[in-house]
Structure 1
Amino acid sequence: MKLAKIISVLSLLVILLAVNWSIYRQEQVLTQGKTVLLKLMPVDPRSLMQGDYMELNFELANQIRRQLIQQNTDTASSGKLKTQDGYVVVKINQNQEGEFVRIDDGEALAENELRLFFRVRHGKIKFASNGFFFQEGKASEYENAKFGEFKVGEDGNLLLVDLTE
Protein backbone atom coordinates (compact mmCIF):
# COMPACT_ATOMS: atom_id res chain seq x y z
CA MET A 1 0.00 0.00 0.00
CA LYS A 2 2.82 2.39 0.87
CA LEU A 3 4.55 1.69 -2.46
CA ALA A 4 1.34 2.50 -4.34
CA LYS A 5 1.15 5.91 -2.62
CA ILE A 6 4.77 6.67 -3.46
CA ILE A 7 4.22 5.72 -7.10
CA SER A 8 1.06 7.84 -7.24
CA VAL A 9 2.82 10.88 -5.75
CA LEU A 10 5.82 10.48 -8.07
CA SER A 11 3.51 10.12 -11.09
CA LEU A 12 1.66 13.27 -10.08
CA LEU A 13 4.96 15.15 -9.70
CA VAL A 14 6.13 14.04 -13.15
CA ILE A 15 2.84 15.18 -14.70
CA LEU A 16 3.00 18.55 -12.92
CA LEU A 17 6.60 19.00 -14.00
CA ALA A 18 5.72 18.25 -17.64
CA VAL A 19 2.76 20.65 -17.63
CA ASN A 20 4.77 23.43 -16.00
CA TRP A 21 7.66 22.91 -18.42
CA SER A 22 5.25 23.27 -21.33
CA ILE A 23 3.81 26.47 -19.84
CA TYR A 24 7.32 27.83 -19.28
CA ARG A 25 8.29 27.15 -22.92
CA GLN A 26 5.15 28.94 -24.18
CA GLU A 27 5.88 31.92 -21.90
CA GLN A 28 9.43 32.08 -23.28
CA VAL A 29 8.06 32.29 -26.83
CA LEU A 30 5.69 35.08 -25.79
CA THR A 31 8.46 37.12 -24.17
CA GLN A 32 11.40 36.34 -26.45
CA GLY A 33 9.85 35.19 -29.73
CA LYS A 34 10.04 37.22 -32.92
CA THR A 35 6.88 39.03 -33.98
CA VAL A 36 5.35 38.31 -37.37
CA LEU A 37 2.08 39.56 -38.83
CA LEU A 38 0.19 37.23 -41.17
CA LYS A 39 -2.37 38.80 -43.47
CA LEU A 40 -5.94 37.66 -42.90
CA MET A 41 -8.25 36.72 -45.74
CA PRO A 42 -12.00 37.12 -45.68
CA VAL A 43 -14.00 34.27 -44.22
CA ASP A 44 -17.64 33.52 -44.97
CA PRO A 45 -19.40 36.16 -42.83
CA ARG A 46 -21.98 33.63 -41.72
CA SER A 47 -19.23 31.74 -39.90
CA LEU A 48 -17.05 34.74 -39.03
CA MET A 49 -18.54 35.35 -35.63
CA GLN A 50 -19.51 32.41 -33.51
CA GLY A 51 -20.17 33.80 -30.07
CA ASP A 52 -16.86 34.94 -28.62
CA TYR A 53 -14.90 33.27 -31.40
CA MET A 54 -13.67 34.37 -34.82
CA GLU A 55 -12.66 31.89 -37.52
CA LEU A 56 -9.40 32.90 -39.20
CA ASN A 57 -8.09 32.32 -42.70
CA PHE A 58 -4.62 33.48 -43.72
CA GLU A 59 -3.35 34.54 -47.13
CA LEU A 60 -0.17 32.58 -46.40
CA ALA A 61 -2.21 29.37 -46.13
CA ASN A 62 -3.43 29.78 -49.73
CA GLN A 63 0.12 30.40 -50.93
CA ILE A 64 1.29 27.23 -49.16
CA ARG A 65 -1.62 25.30 -50.69
CA ARG A 66 -0.73 26.43 -54.22
CA GLN A 67 2.93 25.51 -53.72
CA LEU A 68 2.15 22.07 -52.26
CA ILE A 69 -0.20 21.31 -55.16
CA GLN A 70 2.49 22.34 -57.68
CA GLN A 71 5.07 20.13 -55.94
CA ASN A 72 2.89 17.01 -55.87
CA THR A 73 1.39 15.73 -59.11
CA ASP A 74 -0.97 13.35 -57.23
CA THR A 75 -2.38 16.31 -55.33
CA ALA A 76 -2.63 18.43 -58.46
CA SER A 77 -5.02 15.99 -60.09
CA SER A 78 -7.27 15.56 -57.03
CA GLY A 79 -6.85 19.04 -55.53
CA LYS A 80 -6.84 17.49 -52.04
CA LEU A 81 -3.81 17.88 -49.82
CA LYS A 82 -2.60 14.92 -47.79
CA THR A 83 -2.12 15.16 -44.03
CA GLN A 84 1.38 16.44 -43.34
CA ASP A 85 3.49 18.79 -41.25
CA GLY A 86 6.01 21.21 -42.66
CA TYR A 87 7.69 24.57 -42.54
CA VAL A 88 7.22 27.59 -44.72
CA VAL A 89 9.87 30.28 -45.13
CA VAL A 90 8.63 33.86 -44.90
CA LYS A 91 10.45 37.13 -45.38
CA ILE A 92 9.73 39.74 -42.72
CA ASN A 93 9.22 43.18 -44.28
CA GLN A 94 9.67 46.57 -42.60
CA ASN A 95 6.11 46.36 -41.19
CA GLN A 96 6.76 42.96 -39.53
CA GLU A 97 4.54 41.27 -42.14
CA GLY A 98 5.47 37.75 -43.17
CA GLU A 99 5.64 37.32 -46.96
CA PHE A 100 5.74 33.88 -48.59
CA VAL A 101 9.14 32.86 -49.95
CA ARG A 102 9.00 29.06 -50.29
CA ILE A 103 8.14 25.79 -48.64
CA ASP A 104 11.18 25.01 -46.50
CA ASP A 105 13.73 22.88 -48.30
CA GLY A 106 16.50 23.03 -45.70
CA GLU A 107 18.22 25.93 -47.43
CA ALA A 108 19.85 28.47 -45.08
CA LEU A 109 17.67 31.42 -44.13
CA ALA A 110 18.47 35.01 -45.04
CA GLU A 111 18.72 37.49 -42.18
CA ASN A 112 15.13 38.69 -42.53
CA GLU A 113 13.57 35.23 -43.02
CA LEU A 114 11.82 32.91 -40.58
CA ARG A 115 10.64 29.31 -40.68
CA LEU A 116 7.02 28.89 -39.61
CA PHE A 117 5.53 25.53 -38.72
CA PHE A 118 2.27 24.50 -40.42
CA ARG A 119 0.05 21.44 -40.51
CA VAL A 120 -2.26 20.12 -43.19
CA ARG A 121 -5.35 18.51 -41.70
CA HIS A 122 -8.48 17.53 -43.62
CA GLY A 123 -7.15 19.45 -46.63
CA LYS A 124 -6.73 22.72 -44.69
CA ILE A 125 -3.51 24.54 -43.85
CA LYS A 126 -3.35 25.29 -40.14
CA PHE A 127 -0.97 27.41 -38.11
CA ALA A 128 -0.93 27.80 -34.33
CA SER A 129 -4.59 28.66 -34.44
CA ASN A 130 -7.23 29.14 -37.08
CA GLY A 131 -9.57 30.65 -34.53
CA PHE A 132 -9.43 33.57 -32.13
CA PHE A 133 -11.35 33.75 -28.87
CA PHE A 134 -12.05 37.12 -27.31
CA GLN A 135 -13.88 38.64 -24.38
CA GLU A 136 -17.66 38.74 -24.64
CA GLY A 137 -18.89 41.97 -26.22
CA LYS A 138 -15.54 42.78 -27.87
CA ALA A 139 -16.34 41.45 -31.36
CA SER A 140 -16.50 44.93 -32.89
CA GLU A 141 -12.85 45.53 -31.92
CA TYR A 142 -11.73 42.67 -34.16
CA GLU A 143 -14.15 42.89 -37.10
CA ASN A 144 -11.78 45.05 -39.16
CA ALA A 145 -8.59 43.17 -38.29
CA LYS A 146 -6.26 42.71 -41.24
CA PHE A 147 -3.48 40.70 -39.57
CA GLY A 148 -2.95 37.96 -37.06
CA GLU A 149 -0.07 38.89 -34.76
CA PHE A 150 2.09 35.91 -33.83
CA LYS A 151 5.15 35.27 -31.72
CA VAL A 152 7.51 32.74 -33.29
CA GLY A 153 9.76 30.43 -31.30
CA GLU A 154 13.18 29.27 -32.48
CA ASP A 155 11.56 25.98 -33.51
CA GLY A 156 9.13 27.78 -35.85
CA ASN A 157 6.09 27.21 -33.67
CA LEU A 158 3.68 30.12 -33.56
CA LEU A 159 1.55 31.58 -30.80
CA LEU A 160 -1.34 33.83 -31.81
CA VAL A 161 -1.12 36.97 -29.67
CA ASP A 162 -3.65 39.38 -31.18
CA LEU A 163 -5.54 40.52 -34.26
CA THR A 164 -4.53 43.94 -35.56
CA GLU A 165 -5.31 46.43 -38.31
Structure 2
Amino acid sequence: MTLNTGKISLKWKFTVVAAAQILFLAFIAFSRFWTIQAGETVLLKTVPVDPRDLMMGDYVSLEYEINRLPAGIFQPEGADISRGVRPNKAVYVVLKPQGNYHVAAEAYLRKPSSLNPGEVLIKGKYLFGLDREVRVIYGIERFYVPEGKGMEIERPPNQTGRQQLDVEVKVGTGGNAVIRRVFVNGEEMPFS
Protein backbone atom coordinates (compact mmCIF):
# COMPACT_ATOMS: atom_id res chain seq x y z
CA MET A 1 0.00 0.00 0.00
CA THR A 2 2.90 2.36 0.66
CA LEU A 3 4.21 1.89 -2.90
CA ASN A 4 0.84 2.80 -4.38
CA THR A 5 0.68 6.01 -2.32
CA GLY A 6 4.15 6.92 -3.58
CA LYS A 7 3.04 6.47 -7.20
CA ILE A 8 0.00 8.65 -6.67
CA SER A 9 2.14 11.25 -4.98
CA LEU A 10 4.64 11.19 -7.87
CA LYS A 11 1.83 11.52 -10.44
CA TRP A 12 0.34 14.37 -8.42
CA LYS A 13 3.69 16.18 -8.25
CA PHE A 14 4.21 15.77 -11.99
CA THR A 15 0.70 17.08 -12.70
CA VAL A 16 1.20 20.11 -10.46
CA VAL A 17 4.58 20.95 -12.05
CA ALA A 18 3.21 20.53 -15.58
CA ALA A 19 0.15 22.67 -14.77
CA ALA A 20 2.35 25.38 -13.22
CA GLN A 21 4.51 25.53 -16.36
CA ILE A 22 1.46 25.76 -18.62
CA LEU A 23 -0.06 28.50 -16.46
CA PHE A 24 3.23 30.43 -16.48
CA LEU A 25 3.42 30.34 -20.31
CA ALA A 26 -0.25 31.27 -20.58
CA PHE A 27 0.32 34.23 -18.24
CA ILE A 28 3.21 35.51 -20.37
CA ALA A 29 1.20 35.19 -23.59
CA PHE A 30 -1.89 36.79 -22.04
CA SER A 31 0.04 39.72 -20.56
CA ARG A 32 1.48 40.58 -24.00
CA PHE A 33 -1.95 40.12 -25.61
CA TRP A 34 -3.58 42.34 -22.97
CA THR A 35 -0.92 45.04 -23.42
CA ILE A 36 -1.61 45.10 -27.17
CA GLN A 37 -5.39 45.19 -26.64
CA ALA A 38 -5.65 47.68 -23.77
CA GLY A 39 -2.31 49.52 -23.70
CA GLU A 40 -1.68 53.15 -24.57
CA THR A 41 -0.25 53.74 -28.06
CA VAL A 42 2.92 55.80 -28.40
CA LEU A 43 5.12 56.51 -31.43
CA LEU A 44 8.88 56.54 -30.82
CA LYS A 45 11.79 57.70 -33.00
CA THR A 46 14.61 55.22 -33.51
CA VAL A 47 18.11 54.84 -34.89
CA PRO A 48 18.50 51.35 -36.45
CA VAL A 49 21.54 49.07 -36.58
CA ASP A 50 21.47 45.74 -38.44
CA PRO A 51 22.99 42.70 -36.74
CA ARG A 52 22.06 39.05 -37.23
CA ASP A 53 21.16 36.44 -34.64
CA LEU A 54 22.34 32.98 -35.72
CA MET A 55 19.47 31.28 -33.87
CA MET A 56 16.63 33.67 -34.72
CA GLY A 57 17.62 35.22 -38.06
CA ASP A 58 17.74 38.84 -39.15
CA TYR A 59 16.70 41.57 -36.81
CA VAL A 60 16.97 45.30 -36.58
CA SER A 61 18.50 46.55 -33.38
CA LEU A 62 16.62 49.66 -32.35
CA GLU A 63 17.84 52.53 -30.27
CA TYR A 64 15.20 55.01 -29.20
CA GLU A 65 15.69 58.60 -28.20
CA ILE A 66 14.28 57.54 -24.81
CA ASN A 67 17.18 55.07 -24.33
CA ARG A 68 19.44 58.05 -23.53
CA LEU A 69 17.94 60.19 -20.80
CA PRO A 70 19.39 63.46 -19.51
CA ALA A 71 20.25 62.92 -15.84
CA GLY A 72 18.40 66.14 -15.00
CA ILE A 73 14.94 64.70 -15.73
CA PHE A 74 15.12 62.28 -12.81
CA GLN A 75 12.81 63.14 -9.95
CA PRO A 76 12.90 64.27 -7.27
CA GLU A 77 14.70 67.17 -8.92
CA GLY A 78 18.42 66.96 -8.40
CA ALA A 79 18.44 63.20 -7.69
CA ASP A 80 21.98 61.86 -8.16
CA ILE A 81 21.22 59.05 -10.59
CA SER A 82 24.85 58.42 -11.54
CA ARG A 83 25.77 57.02 -8.11
CA GLY A 84 24.45 54.09 -6.15
CA VAL A 85 21.98 52.77 -8.73
CA ARG A 86 22.57 49.15 -9.69
CA PRO A 87 22.20 47.90 -13.27
CA ASN A 88 18.77 46.40 -14.07
CA LYS A 89 16.99 48.53 -11.46
CA ALA A 90 13.51 49.51 -12.60
CA VAL A 91 13.22 53.01 -14.04
CA TYR A 92 9.85 54.62 -14.76
CA VAL A 93 9.83 57.18 -17.57
CA VAL A 94 6.93 59.56 -18.14
CA LEU A 95 6.31 60.08 -21.86
CA LYS A 96 4.44 63.12 -23.11
CA PRO A 97 3.21 63.83 -26.63
CA GLN A 98 5.34 66.22 -28.68
CA GLY A 99 4.25 66.55 -32.28
CA ASN A 100 3.70 63.06 -33.72
CA TYR A 101 5.95 61.39 -31.15
CA HIS A 102 6.16 60.79 -27.43
CA VAL A 103 9.27 62.03 -25.64
CA ALA A 104 10.68 61.57 -22.15
CA ALA A 105 9.49 64.27 -19.75
CA GLU A 106 10.48 62.90 -16.33
CA ALA A 107 12.02 59.74 -14.91
CA TYR A 108 11.72 58.04 -11.52
CA LEU A 109 13.31 55.17 -9.63
CA ARG A 110 9.93 54.49 -7.99
CA LYS A 111 6.63 54.30 -9.82
CA PRO A 112 4.93 57.71 -9.62
CA SER A 113 1.46 57.76 -8.11
CA SER A 114 -0.17 59.89 -10.81
CA LEU A 115 0.27 61.22 -14.33
CA ASN A 116 -1.02 64.30 -16.10
CA PRO A 117 -3.58 63.85 -18.90
CA GLY A 118 -1.94 62.59 -22.11
CA GLU A 119 1.13 61.22 -20.34
CA VAL A 120 2.13 57.55 -20.53
CA LEU A 121 4.37 55.69 -18.09
CA ILE A 122 6.88 53.23 -19.60
CA LYS A 123 8.99 50.91 -17.45
CA GLY A 124 12.62 50.28 -18.28
CA LYS A 125 15.83 48.96 -16.76
CA TYR A 126 18.77 51.13 -15.75
CA LEU A 127 21.97 50.16 -17.61
CA PHE A 128 24.46 52.80 -16.50
CA GLY A 129 24.71 56.48 -15.80
CA LEU A 130 27.24 59.17 -16.57
CA ASP A 131 27.34 62.68 -15.17
CA ARG A 132 24.79 64.02 -17.65
CA GLU A 133 23.22 60.96 -19.28
CA VAL A 134 21.53 57.75 -18.18
CA ARG A 135 21.09 54.68 -20.39
CA VAL A 136 17.81 52.77 -20.04
CA ILE A 137 16.41 49.78 -21.96
CA TYR A 138 12.73 48.85 -22.32
CA GLY A 139 12.70 45.36 -23.86
CA ILE A 140 11.69 46.71 -27.29
CA GLU A 141 15.17 47.23 -28.69
CA ARG A 142 15.08 44.28 -31.11
CA PHE A 143 12.69 43.72 -34.01
CA TYR A 144 12.91 40.50 -36.07
CA VAL A 145 12.46 40.73 -39.83
CA PRO A 146 12.40 38.19 -42.68
CA GLU A 147 15.85 37.06 -43.81
CA GLY A 148 17.59 39.64 -45.98
CA LYS A 149 15.27 42.51 -44.99
CA GLY A 150 17.48 43.88 -42.22
CA MET A 151 19.93 45.54 -44.60
CA GLU A 152 17.07 47.00 -46.67
CA ILE A 153 15.81 48.75 -43.57
CA GLU A 154 19.24 49.87 -42.46
CA ARG A 155 20.31 51.16 -45.86
CA PRO A 156 18.07 50.63 -48.90
CA PRO A 157 19.60 49.82 -52.32
CA ASN A 158 20.81 52.87 -54.29
CA GLN A 159 20.56 55.17 -51.28
CA THR A 160 23.35 56.48 -49.12
CA GLY A 161 21.33 57.77 -46.16
CA ARG A 162 19.41 55.91 -43.50
CA GLN A 163 15.67 55.64 -43.64
CA GLN A 164 13.41 57.15 -41.00
CA LEU A 165 12.30 54.28 -38.79
CA ASP A 166 9.44 54.86 -36.35
CA VAL A 167 7.95 52.31 -34.00
CA GLU A 168 4.41 52.23 -32.66
CA VAL A 169 4.51 50.77 -29.18
CA LYS A 170 1.69 49.69 -26.88
CA VAL A 171 2.37 50.42 -23.21
CA GLY A 172 0.36 48.55 -20.57
CA THR A 173 -0.81 49.91 -17.23
CA GLY A 174 2.27 48.45 -15.49
CA GLY A 175 4.57 50.23 -17.95
CA ASN A 176 5.53 47.15 -19.99
CA ALA A 177 5.93 47.88 -23.70
CA VAL A 178 5.28 45.77 -26.81
CA ILE A 179 6.15 46.70 -30.41
CA ARG A 180 2.89 46.99 -32.34
CA ARG A 181 3.91 48.31 -35.77
CA VAL A 182 7.05 49.56 -37.50
CA PHE A 183 7.11 52.33 -40.10
CA VAL A 184 9.88 52.97 -42.64
CA ASN A 185 9.74 56.49 -44.08
CA GLY A 186 6.13 56.76 -42.89
CA GLU A 187 4.95 53.50 -44.49
CA GLU A 188 4.02 50.51 -42.37
CA MET A 189 6.25 47.50 -42.88
CA PRO A 190 4.01 44.68 -44.18
CA PHE A 191 5.78 42.04 -42.08
CA SER A 192 5.52 43.93 -38.79
TM class by shorter-chain length? 0.7 to 0.9
1:142 maps to what in 2?
153
1:92 is displaced (CA, Å) by 2.4
Matches for 1:13-162 after TM superposition, within 5 Å: 13-41=19-47, 48-51=49-52, 52-64=58-70, 67=73, 71-72=79-80, 75=82, 82-83=86-87, 84-93=89-98, 95=100, 97-104=101-108, 106=112, 108-121=114-127, 124-139=135-150, 142-143=153-154, 144-162=163-181
1:145 touches 1:163 (CA, 8 Å); kept in 2? no
1:122 to 1:93, Cα distance in 2 relative to 1, 3 A: closer
1:89 is displaced (CA, Å) by 0.5
1:13 to 1:64, Cα distance in 2 relative to 1, 3 A: farther
Identical aligned residues as a percent = 21
2:170 touches 2:178 (CA, 8 Å); kept in 1? yes
Say which structure is richer in strand. Answer: 2
Amino acid corresponding to residue 155 of structure 1 in structure 2: G
Question: Which of the two has higher C-alpha Rg?
Answer: 2
Q: Helix, strand or coil for the counterpart of 2:114?
A: coil
RMSD of the TM alignment (CA)?
Answer: 2.6
1:9 to 1:107, Cα distance in 2 relative to 1, 3 A: closer
Amino acid corresponding to residue 5 of structure 1 in structure 2: K
Q: TM-score, normalised by structure 1?
A: 0.78
1:46-96 per-residue CA deviation (whole Å, 9 max, x = no partner) reads xx212311221111121255645x6317x27xxx9642211011112453x
Amino acid corresponding to residue 102 of structure 2 in structure 1: G
2:124 touches 2:136 (CA, 8 Å); kept in 1? yes
Unaligned runs of 5+ in 1: none
1:105-136 per-residue CA deviation (whole Å, 9 max, x = no partner) reads 72631111011101013564101222221111
Amino acid corresponding to residue 50 of structure 2 in structure 1: M
Q: Helix, strand or coil for the counterpart of 2:25?
A: helix
2:94 touches 2:119 (CA, 8 Å); kept in 1? yes
Unaligned runs of 5+ in 2: 1-6, 53-57, 130-134, 155-162, 186-192
2:95 touches 2:119 (CA, 8 Å); kept in 1? yes
